[in-house]
Amino acid sequence: MPLFGLIPIPTVAETADWSASTYRGPCYVMAADERRARLYAASYFARPDAARLDSGLRVESPWVRPRMVALQLTFRHVDRAAPEGTVVVPPGSGEKVVRLADWRARRA
């Protein structure tokens, strides 16, 4: 399973678009492809109280926007002990390593 690194781009890191996310730092995501890596990060860091547009729609997560978050393939194959959807953040970020099953339980 590939491991992707997602890094917020500093020039846009302070925009109001980040109101849809609980976290604004770098992370790593176990995912089959780039699209899924972005979606897992967007889901994991989603704010339930995210701002809404005038149309009533929620603001799109910055994690799915290439102009806001750079993405790179960190490792092509990582030990499958970590399942797809695992999100890893650096120590001291206030977040923790989360397995997909734990994330689902937390969201239920």
**What pLDDT sits at residue 57?**
53
In angstroms, rounded to a whole number, what is the distance separating the alpha carbons of residues 62 and 21? 7
User: pLDDT per residue over 59-90, tens digit each?
Assistant: 678 899 998 999 987 766 666 667 888 888 87
Residues of the domain holding 10? 3-107
For the cut 90, the answer to whether the pLDDT of residue 50 exceeds it is: no
DSSP conformation letters of the chain: --EEEEEE-GGGTTSGGGGGBS--S-EEEE-SSHHHHHHHHHHHTB-TT--B-TTSPBPPPGGG-TTTEEEEEEES---TTSPTT-EE--TTSS---B-HHHHHHHH-
For the cut 60, the answer to whether the pLDDT of residue 104 exceeds it is: no
For the cut 90, the answer to whether the pLDDT of residue 102 exceeds it is: no
**What pLDDT sits at residue 96?**
54
Number of domains in the chain: 1
